[in-house]
Amino acid sequence: MRRGMLAVFLILAVVASAAAEEPERLRIVSLNPSLTEILLSLDAADTLVGVDDYSARQQPSVAELPRVGGLFSPNLEAIVALEPDAVVVVPAAQQRDLGERLEQLGIRVVSLPNHRLEEVLTSITELGALVDRDQAAAARVAVIRRAVAESRSATAEAPHPRVVMVIQRDPLYVVGGGSYLHELLDVAGARNIAAGFSEAYPRVGLEWLLAAAPDVILDASPDAAQAEAYWSRWPSLPAVRANRIVVLSASAWRPGPFLEQSLQLLADALRPTELRVAP
């Protein structure tokens, strides 16, 4: 009997010791699809307890998680109900206001800007630290930095076409000098004709675009047929005359953990060819 009791005691002691050593799983709510993608790339899906609507639509692996609203309309009550240890956001005005309210409730808010290339890389590093995936984050950042260096070297002596990247056509928004996409265009060997705008995504007039006369138009529209129909109305544009219009998928311009792929897509898009859809 004593031996049996001793065995039970030892088993319970081992179980209790293991439970004490295993840290409690971090509970994170992500309010940005790019930040969600970074966490998934770091094998930290188990830390996510809630996501924004866009994350749920773009990432099948989190589609079943509780949704807490859109990028610009997150639901405070829904977030609080999930009892998160941390909420990760980008410093947009709406999320900044929400962050202040969450912090007042004692919930940690991690705000990670992603307008510039270095900011995206910092986001990867900081999220890696948050979920104890520092090595995985460092490896991801190293891959991107290596791709940037190789692309700069490969395009240093090549012709640099004059390019505009259109985020939205009506009204017309383009990639300006304040965006990480401007930096990727530069690395890929393009001259961004909207580099003079300090904003990340300035609104411009059609007259400006016609006068700027880009050699290549990169269109972020999800519909290639609509893009072709739209740009065919402006045959005076060099890009239209030369059939150098490329419709880019969203994967080509997300500020996430796979920017080396985005860079390759942009480099491919700059090669002379007829209108096509970049994968």
The pLDDT tens digits of the residues spanning 57-115 come to 999 999 999 999 988 889 999 999 999 999 999 987 667 788 889 999 999 999 999 99
CA-to-CA distance for 120 and 140, rounded, in angstroms? 11
Compute the average pLDDT of residues 176-184. 95
Compute the average pLDDT of residues 23-31. 89
Describe the strand order of the beta sheet including 86-89 as a list of residue ranges.
48-51, 28-30, 86-89, 108-111
Torsion of CA 230, 233, 239, 242, to 10 degrees: 120
Position 50 confidence tier, pLDDT thresholds 50, 70, 90: very high
User: What pLDDT, on the 0 to 100 scale, is given for residue 5?
Assistant: 52
User: What pLDDT, on the 0 to 100 scale, is given for residue 268?
Assistant: 87
User: What pLDDT, on the 0 to 100 scale, is given for residue 200?
Assistant: 93
Average pLDDT, the chain: 89
Phi, psi of 122 (to 5 degrees): -65, -35
Phi, psi of 251 (to 5 degrees): -65, -15
Compute the average pLDDT of residues 246-275. 82
User: What pLDDT, on the 0 to 100 scale, is given for residue 3?
Assistant: 55
Minimum mean pLDDT range among 27-36, 134-143, 201-210, 262-271: 262-271
Which tokens in the block code for residue 194?
């909207």
CB atoms within 10 A of CB 163: 27
CA-to-CA distance for 223 and 249, rounded, in angstroms? 9
Compute the average pLDDT of residues 192-215. 96
Per-residue exposure over 171-206, b if at least 16 CB sit within 10 Å of its own CB, e if not: ebbbbbbbbbbbbbbbbbbbebbbbebeebbbebee
Torsion of CA 31, 33, 38, 42, to 10 degrees: 80
Please say if the pLDDT value at position 129 is more than 70. yes
Compute the average pLDDT of residues 147-170. 93
Could you tell me how far CA 193 lies from the centroid of its own chain? 23
User: What pLDDT, on the 0 to 100 scale, is given for residue 238?
Assistant: 96
Please say if the pLDDT value at position 273 is more than 90. no
CA-to-CA distance for 192 and 47, rounded, in angstroms? 39
Q: Can you state the angle between helices 180-187 and 117-130, rounded to 10 degrees?
A: 110
Position 19 confidence tier, pLDDT thresholds 50, 70, 90: very low
Q: How are beta strands 162-168 and 216-219 bridged, if at all? A: parallel
Per-residue exposure over 95-131, b if at least 16 CB sit within 10 Å of its own CB, e if not: beebbeebeeeebebbebebbbbeebbebbbebbebb
Question: Which residue ranges form the domains of the chain, and what is each CATH number?
Answer: 28-112 (3.40.50.1980), 160-278 (3.40.50.1980)
Phi, psi of 270 (to 5 degrees): -85, -5
